[in-house]
Homo-oligomer: A and B are copies of this chain.
Amino acid sequence: MTHDFRQVERQRGRAVALAGVLMTALCAALVLLGGAGGGAGADLARSWPTYVGLAGLVLLFALSMQRQHARLAALEAELRAAAVREATLGARFSELSFLFDISTQVQLRLDLQGMLDLAVQRLLACLEAHQSSIMLLDEASGLLEVRAVAGADAGLVAGAVVRPGEGIAGHVFATGEPLALTPEVMRRRFPAETKRGRQIGSGVCVPMRFRDQAIGVVSVTRAGGEPFGDLHVRMLAAFADHFAATVVKTRHHREVLERVRRAA
């Protein structure tokens, strides 16, 4: 699309040049008229409608050019905005395809920890994130536990626990409401987190829901760059719901197997 914009710029340049030529021609015509009139006072009285008419034409032409320019500029801006929207949507489509592929790869693992580790690593690459983590509810303790983390500070975050309702992840878990995090949202809704010196550029935190019941939380953060948008929230929510189903099913199969083994 950049090429088209450049073409439009060139065309506009030619339009301005053409306007210049026209103006020069108008001036030349006026001078010719003046010369033809012989410069006498009676002549001016006779030919003033011509001068007024020509001056009016110049004015009309200038106004028309200005309007055309404004219109072209508006159209160009629209085209540019459309190109940006299209590129953005294309990027989101690729990311969603990637998330779908990650879900397929996760499916091929048999052990839960292997699935979790694979997911956080792939999320990091897919969403160009700084850090990604998955927390699961430990039903025995009633706490959310970081079960897998990839990216920055992975060592610090691994194994951390949080009470449902506390902090960002606890809030998302308790409310089941996906969140797009920006520095502004952090300051307004989670001042305590900001005070703790957690500086993020932008982030997405979504619940892993299984039949409308949260079983964990998926978070990704970016230190800088382009902030996450609403489509990212929707995409990651779809991924997290799918992942919740996978986790529940894996646990279910393990339980069935153990029951059968115990019965033996």
| A→B interface (CB under 8 Å) | 1, 4, 8, 11, 15, 18-19, 21-22, 25-26, 28-29, 32-33, 36, 46-47, 49-50, 53-54, 56-57, 60-61, 64, 67-68, 71-72, 75-76, 78-79, 82-83, 85-86, 89-90, 92-93, 96-97, 99-101, 103-104, 107-108, 110, 211, 231, 234-235, 238-239, 241-242, 245-246, 249, 252-253, 256-257, 260-261, 263-264
Contact = CB atoms under 8 A, between A and B. Distances in A.
Nearest to A107: B245
B68 A15 contact: yes
Given A22-B61, A68-B68, A260-B264, A8 B97 contact: no
Contacts of A1: 82
A178 to B, nearest CB: 14
26 contacts: A8-B71, A8-B75, A11-B71, A15-B67, A15-B71, A18-B67, A19-B64, A22-B57, A25-B56, A25-B57, A29-B57, A32-B49, A32-B50, A72-B72, A75-B75, A89-B89, A89-B90, A92-B93, A93-B231, A96-B96, A100-B238, A100-B242, A107-B242, A107-B245, A107-B249, A263-B264
B238 A18 contact: no
Contacts of A15: 64, 67-68, 71
